[in-house]
Structure 1
Amino acid sequence: MTIIKVPELAGVAHGFAGRQGGVSTGLYHSLNVGLGSSDDSAAVAENRRRAVAAVAPGARLVTLHQVHSAAVVPVSAPFADSARPHADAMVTATPGLALGILTADCAPILLADREAGVIGAAHSGWKGALADIGGAAVAAMEALGARRDHIIAAVGPCIARASYEVDEAFYRRFIADDPAHDHFFSAGKPDHWQFDLEGLVAARLARAGVGKVIACGIDTYPDAARWFSFRRTTHGGEPDYGRQLSVIAL
């Protein structure tokens, strides 16, 4: 099983899990944790169990119905998978809960203020980055007693600039929001751009006052053996795709 950990978060149970080490087959081989996929539900449940056991043994996993928003949910007790809130970030100060984010190209963000005993996890695609889901998660952690300058945030494996081609309308949407966003685009083929999602997510976390931001720099698109990728699946004409899990727990 591939588990990426960040040295700066040592002392906090956390990890960005890849697609290896599970029981799913076919398109979902092998550690697919996506409840929204068409994979066998028993296989998904076992994969989720394995991923949490590898990162935070004994913790109760909580995940969201992710909707590409800037909505954050404070969590103080586990909830059923069928009762997942529609949101894109969670925060908690309750030990024993494993906050889990599902991705397949979008950026997972794990956050912790070790001194305050407050953690967070967020899902950021381009819509979340534009809406500043990372900053919203930081504010919600602060409401639980965290200090912004004590928070460490890690941006996990996601689609990289070299693999993320967008059109002119996409580019203009970001420039209309803030001309400084031009920094996260480089010219590609005519009327197209290469977008640095990871860079923008990290920059917005830094702007929110986070004490330290770490970007893993791992591109999910080209490495089919290690990572699920929605864009790669789309380009390949496949009917569905798996999701990987990023976890943090107290």
Structure 2
Amino acid sequence: MLSPLLSGVSTVRHGFFTRQGGTSWDRGDLNCGLAADDDPSHVDENRRRVRDHLPALALVSLTQTHSTEVVSLTAAPDWPRGRGPEGDGLVTRVPGLALGVLSADCGALLAVDPVAGVIGAAHSGWKGTAGNITRALIDAMAGQGAEPARIRLALGPMIRQASYEVGPEFPDHFRGAVADHERFFRPAARDGHFLGDIARIIAAQAAAEGVTHFEDIGGDTYADPDRFFSARRSAHQRQPDSGRLISAIALQGDN
């Protein structure tokens, strides 16, 4: 899946990849995370397919921990199997280096400043959103010459409000993370519970940081099992841990 906003930048290649077109399990899933019960060689092959599809010289990602830690790369890292230290965001100006983030309901953000030649990617789950990893990503991009007003920021498929029931204490996590946080939660059918709109919170956070070029490409990971992995859906159906989708972006280089 592509973002028209990012596709308008000729110097980058990107993709919000679905679960289709891989080698995992008996369904040919494109699982790109080692956390799932999958053969590591299948995960490596799936990641190779993503890298070649972009195309890019290398594809790297972090050991995600639902943090607001963003790692800035000034050279292609020599990480075993392309997997780096703990963190949830990546920024670089290195051509041919694809930045990847994994998700299975959480938000995936891909970004570029076409003038500065800086790209970024971030995994924004509810904890990262409560901590405002969007701000951390924009700050890290600014550290490499980007300006918020020039940044193009796209949000990929994730769990949407209609599918995301949360408990009575959950909205309080976002107090201070976004103005008027209560407006992003509406009552659920279950008494005292809410339906949370994390995607709209992310959009509001981006706007608050001065990002005017923002796009949400849509897609509900929970409600669309044919295209997307969903950790919450797997838990509700008492299935094994779900696979992980990957979203990636790369500056065009000598690929």
In structure 2, C-alpha distance between the alignment counterparts of 1:178 and 1:210, rounded to whole Å: 15
RMSD: 1.5
Is the 2:24–2:42 Cα contact (8 Å) retained in structure 1? yes
Aligned to 1:38: 37
Tell me how many residue pairs correspond in the alignment. Answer: 245
The 10-residue stretch of structure 1 (204-213 or 174-183) with the greater mean CA deviation from structure 2: 174-183
Aligned to 2:110: 110
Runs of 4+ in 1 over 6 A off after TM superposition: none
Which amino acid letter does the alignment assign opposite residue 63 of structure 1? S
Is the 2:178–2:201 Cα contact (8 Å) retained in structure 1? no
Is the 1:19–1:226 Cα contact (8 Å) retained in structure 2? yes
- List per-residue Cα deviations over 1:26-68 (Å, max 9, x = no partner): 5x751000022220011010011112222x2232001000001
Is the 2:130–2:173 Cα contact (8 Å) retained in structure 1? no
1:47 paired with 2:54, answer no
The 10-residue stretch of structure 1 (190-199 or 171-180) with the greater mean CA deviation from structure 2: 171-180
What residue ranges of structure 2 are gaps of 5+ in the alignment?
A: none
Aligned to 1:158: 158
Is the 2:72–2:91 Cα contact (8 Å) retained in structure 1? yes
Aligned to 1:9: 6
The 10-residue stretch of structure 1 (200-209 or 29-38) with the greater mean CA deviation from structure 2: 29-38
**Structure with more of its chain in helix, by fraction:** 1
Which amino acid letter does the alignment assign opposite residue 71 of structure 1? E
- List per-residue Cα deviations over 1:96-119 (Å, max 9, x = no partner): 100000000000000000111000
What secondary structure, in the 3-state scheme, does the structure 1 residue paired with 2:62 have? coil
Which amino acid letter does the alignment assign opposite residue 25 of structure 2? T
Aligned to 2:195: 194
Which amino acid letter does the alignment assign opposite residue 161 of structure 1? Q
In the superposition, relative to structure 1, how do residues 192 and 223 fare at CA in structure 2: closer, same or farther (>3 Å)? same
What residue ranges of structure 1 are gaps of 5+ in the alignment?
A: none
Q: What is the TM-score of this pair, normalised by structure 1?
A: 0.94
Q: What is the TM-score of this pair, normalised by structure 2?
A: 0.92
In the superposition, relative to structure 1, how do residues 41 and 120 fare at CA in structure 2: closer, same or farther (>3 Å)? same
Which amino acid letter does the alignment assign opposite residue 165 of structure 2? E
What secondary structure, in the 3-state scheme, does the structure 2 residue paired with 1:5 have? coil
In the superposition, relative to structure 1, how do residues 58 and 111 fare at CA in structure 2: closer, same or farther (>3 Å)? closer
Which amino acid letter does the alignment assign opposite residue 230 of structure 1? A
In structure 2, C-alpha distance between the alignment counterparts of 1:111 and 1:40, rounded to whole Å: 31
